[in-house]
Amino acid sequence: MVMRPANRQVNRSAAALFGLIIAVATVALVVPLFQFNTELEPGDVATRTFTAQHATEFQSETLTDAEREERARAVPEESLPVDTSIRDQQVDRAARYIDTVRAIAARSDLNAQQKQDQVANLTTPQPLANFERAALLGIDPARLAAFRQMVSSGLATLLSAPLKKEDIDKTVTTYVDTLKDQAAPANNDERNALAGLLRVFSVETFRVDQAATDAKRDQARQSVLPVVRTFSQGQVIVTEGQQISAQDIEALKAAGVIEDGIDLYAVAGGVVMALGLGLLLGFYAYLFQPFGDPAKRRMALVAVTVVAVLAGARIALPAVTPDTHERFLAFGLPVATAAIVTACFADLSLAVLVAVAVGLFAVFSGGTAPQIAGSSYVGSLQSLELGMAYSAGGLAGAAVVYRASRVSRFAVAGVAVALATALVMVVFWLVTAQRENVQLGWIAMAAAIHGLVSALLAVGVFVVLAMAFGVTTRLQLMELAQAEHPLLRRLQEQAPGTYHHSMLVGALAERAAATIGADALLVRVGAYYHDIGKLAMPGNYVENMLDGAPSPHQSLTSVESARIIRAHVTNGLDLARRYRLPAVVRDFIPQHHGTRLVTYFYRQAVQNGETVEAREYRYDGPRPQSREAAIVMLADSSEAVARARQDEGAGGLDRLVDSVFAERLAEGQLDECDITLRELQTVAASFKATLRAVYHPRVQYPSPTADEIATLARGETPAASG
């Protein structure tokens, strides 16, 4: 018969929340909500050769748009009507300039150089070249009037049509070259002067008519027919090492290589996988109760670790796959961390489940990450190998680190993860048709990285996050088990009898806990500190009283004595809080007496005919809530009874132990913990063996003879008699 606990460590609400958190967090990792074209951009280099997944014929929007834009750019800009006022202004300015030059040229008081200087000082819209000024001054005065008319006519002609600034030089040259007959320059000087003045006084008359230009360009775009591209199944679209263009991305989508848009079937599959993972872990946590106290904090720590590992794998896998160069980098991802951390804060059975579930789920999430079909893994065999390697590494690491009490165990776990990962990879390497010896080196490196990083991350979580979540680790328990701890040192110095009793209870309970698979380290530490409250008044407890000394209880009533005895529980809790003992250790202080009576003084009061109120003699409890607390309760009582009756012999010790167990069962003290009757029988057998070894009868040595004493006094070794 199993005695069911009244309060499960993991109730339905906690288990449901545990599973829901994992499910919701992992949905985002496997549902393909993010489009691949946010990752692949024109200019990227293809990591492998991609071929069309199916035959397709599609209108290429990219090529069509490019053709339309090219046609539109070919359409020239339309101009607004020319502003004639600008033309007239420039003609007038040129005429006045020529008149001024003619006046300078007619002056007899200036020599040729001075005339050149005077003309050079005249202001013009653009500077005239020296040879152009010289040509202007060299014109026959009789020809200046005709030349002036030639310039005015030229400017009027040029500025009456739309003229862009960048076209002025070319337009002027063409105009001068086309002049004929009377309108043409008489010689080269006139030609140079005419060309210079037309260039200097010509301004831009072109103003864009944006509406008309846009209309014509739209017409040009609409005249372009859609560009159609065709690919047959298996046709190469992009080769490895090729720079990918926008047209290539479009073709990859059309040919089924890139998954574009949200696939509702893929979404449904991802949701089912995430919910399945959450339900699996949530139901397991509720049905099999793998978490110790404080269960909710341990569950939160495991949930955070599982989600973090899966998120890391989801982010990293697309970066290291496909493994076309066979470097096996994906196998180095520290997925085993989740199982190792779970083994530190829960039962090994849950760690095994996490190792397999997280290993497979990581591979699944990596496979749904990229939207390029087939780019995640090179064939289904690689995905199977990756899943098995992750799971094997997690199993090995969890098995080694389970209930680790030293940091060195994490180093061993890292080696175990590396070896398990390498073993799986080597097996698949052996069955692969195309294998090379150089691959073994990459396999060893990937496996070593998997083990090393997993162990390092697990240590960080084990130490740092355990403190953040307020979860007691086995390293902390090992520190508390050291005799140098201040509380144990005080107990040894101020209450040596209680210290000796606690050590014996610890040895008795630890061995029994190991036989039924309970937490032996926790039991030992709990036993060491279960009676620390006796430090408040050590002389009031029998184990600390000197032989022959009067008992302080002789002058007290039974109720007062019971109150003092009961006070060691509340005093112990105060001391435990003051010394910051973890909650899992503090729980042993009230639970090792449960709700029992202070039997000796209660019965004494009854025998003396006193008015007895049972509540004044009863401990506040609670009753033991775990197998570990129950073992310490039974060990405490068994050791005390055995010490009080050491002369009972082996058979008598066995009967005493049986009576203690029967009494606790009859009192209902074990009704709230999950220990079974079969386990109680095993614990009782362990107690009996240990107590017989501790309290077995001693051989009575004969007194030394007079000759032996004399011999020893002389420093000689006495001769043995046959």
With bands split at pLDDT 50, 70 and 90, how would you rate the model's confidence at 698? low
Eight-state DSSP code of residue 462: I
Domain 476-694 annotated CATH 2.60.40: no
**What pLDDT sits at residue 1?**
35
Q: Write down the pLDDT at residue 143.
A: 81
Of 473, 480, 456, whose CA–CA distance to 301 is shortest? Answer: 473
Instruction: Specify the pLDDT at position 116.
Output: 84
Give 548's pLDDT tier (boundaries 50, 70, 90): low
What contacts 22, CB < 8 A, 6 or more positions away? 277, 278, 281, 282, 303, 306, 307
Average pLDDT rounded to a whole number, residues 123-127? 85
Residue 36 clears pLDDT 60, i.e. is over it: no
User: Quick one: tokens of 696?
Assistant: 């077995």
Q: How many CB atoms lie within 10 A of CB 456?
A: 15
Taking the C-alpha atoms of residue 356 and residue 206, their distance in angstroms, rounded to an integer, is: 76
Q: Per-residue confidence at 125, pLDDT binned at 50, 70, 90?
A: confident
Q: Is the pLDDT of residue 214 over 50?
A: yes
Residue 266 predicted with pLDDT over 90: no
Q: Among residues 441, 561, 541, which one has the least CA distance to residue 499? A: 541
Which two three-digit tokens encode residue 172?
């002027």
**pLDDT higher than threshold 90 for residue 395:** yes
Q: Is the pLDDT of residue 306 over 80?
A: yes
Average pLDDT over residues 262-285: 87
Are 19 and 258 spatial neighbours (Cβ–Cβ below 8 Å)? no
Residue 463's pLDDT is what? 82
| Region of poorest pLDDT, from 142-146, 173-177, 421-425 | 142-146
Report pLDDT for 34.
Answer: 44
pLDDT at 189: 79
User: Higher confidence at residue 180 or residue 496?
Assistant: 496
Say whether pLDDT at 122 is over 70. yes
| Per-residue confidence (pLDDT) for residue 697, from 0 to 100 | 63
Mean pLDDT lowest among 12-16, 42-46, 538-542: 42-46
Return the pLDDT at 302: 95
* pLDDT exceeds 50 at position 505: yes
Place of tokens 């004969």: 702
What's residue 550's pLDDT? 82
Q: What is the pLDDT of residue 721?
A: 47
Q: What is the pLDDT of residue 30?
A: 81
Mean pLDDT of the region 214-243:
88
* Mean pLDDT on 537-560: 84
Q: Once rounded to an integer, what is the mean pLDDT over residues 113-133? A: 85
Tokens 């109760």, located at residue? 289
C-alpha pair distances (Å), 569 with each of 344, 501, 515, 535, 536? 30, 16, 28, 11, 11
Range picked from 623-637, 689-703, 708-722 for highest mean pLDDT: 623-637
Distance of CA 43 to the CA centre of its chain: 30
Give the separation between CA 80 and CA 501, rounded to whole angstroms.
110
Mean pLDDT within 537-546: 86
Model's pTM, two decimal places? 0.63
149-163, 302-316, 374-388: range with highest mean pLDDT: 302-316
Q: Are 331 and 450 in contact (CB under 8 A)?
A: yes
Closest CA to 137 of 168, 105, 159: 105
pLDDT: is 398 or 244 the higher one? 398
Q: Give dist(CA 33, CA 607) in Å, integer.
A: 79
Do 538 and 495 form a contact (C-beta atoms < 8 A)? Answer: yes
pLDDT of residue 3: 40
What pLDDT does 454 receive?
96
- Cα separation, 234 vs 649, in Å, equals 89
Q: What sign for the dihedral angle of Cα 511, 513, 517, 519?
A: negative
- Mean pLDDT of the 108-130 span: 85
| CA-based torsion, 624, 630, 634, 635: positive or negative | negative
Contact 221, 67 (CB under 8 A): no
Residue 459 sits at φ, ψ, to 5 deg, of -65, -45
State the burial class of residue 436 (Cβ atoms within 10 Å of its Cβ: 0-12, 13-18, 19+).
exposed
At residue 2, does pLDDT exceed 60? Answer: no
pLDDT of residue 373: 52
User: Do the Cβ atoms of 476 and 585 come closer than 8 Å?
Assistant: no
Q: Which residue would you say has higher pLDDT here, 494 or 703?
A: 494
Over residues 305-313, the mean pLDDT reads: 94
pLDDT of 596 strictly over 70: yes
DSSP 3-state assignment of 685?
Answer: helix
pLDDT tens for residues 520-538?
A: 999 999 999 999 999 999 9
What is residue 177's predicted lDDT score, i.e. its pLDDT? 86
pLDDT (0 to 100) of residue 646 = 61
Write the CA distances from 227 to 62, 65, 95, 251, integer angstroms. 9, 9, 58, 13
d(CA 75, CA 370): 43
pLDDT band per the 50, 70, 90 thresholds, residue 458: very high
3 state SS of 238: strand
Q: What average pLDDT does this structure show over 491-502?
A: 94
Residue with tokens 């780019």: 375
**Which tokens is 310 given?**
């899966």
Q: How many CA atoms lie within 13 A of 472 on its CB side?
A: 21
Residue range 598-621: average pLDDT? Answer: 88
Mean pLDDT taken over the chain: 86
Which pLDDT score, from 0 to 100, does residue 553 have? 86
Interacting residues of 157 by C-beta distance below 8 A, sequence separation 6+: 175
Average pLDDT over residues 288-306: 90
The string of DSSP letters for 368-387 reads HS-SBTT-SSSSHHHHHHHH
Query: pLDDT digit string (tens) for 81-109?
Result: 988 898 889 889 988 988 888 888 888 88
Report the pLDDT averaged over residues 327-341: 94
Short-list 494, 493, 521, CA closest to 506 = 521
591-to-149, 573, 586, 624, 632 alpha-carbon distances in Å:
123, 11, 9, 5, 9
Alpha carbons within 13 angstroms on the beta-carbon side of residue 551 total: 9
DSSP of 30-48, one letter per residue?
A: HS--S-GGGT--TTPBPSS
Q: For position 700, what pLDDT does the model report?
A: 63
Q: Which of the 8 DSSP states describes residue 464?
A: I
91-100, 122-131, 333-342: range with highest mean pLDDT: 333-342
CA angle 146, 150, 154 (to 5 degrees): 170
**CA dist 659 to 56, 135, 508, 640, Å?**
86, 138, 17, 13
134 — pLDDT class (breaks 50, 70, 90): confident
The H or E element that residue 182 is part of is none
Please check the confidence at residue 154 and state whether its pLDDT lies above 60: yes
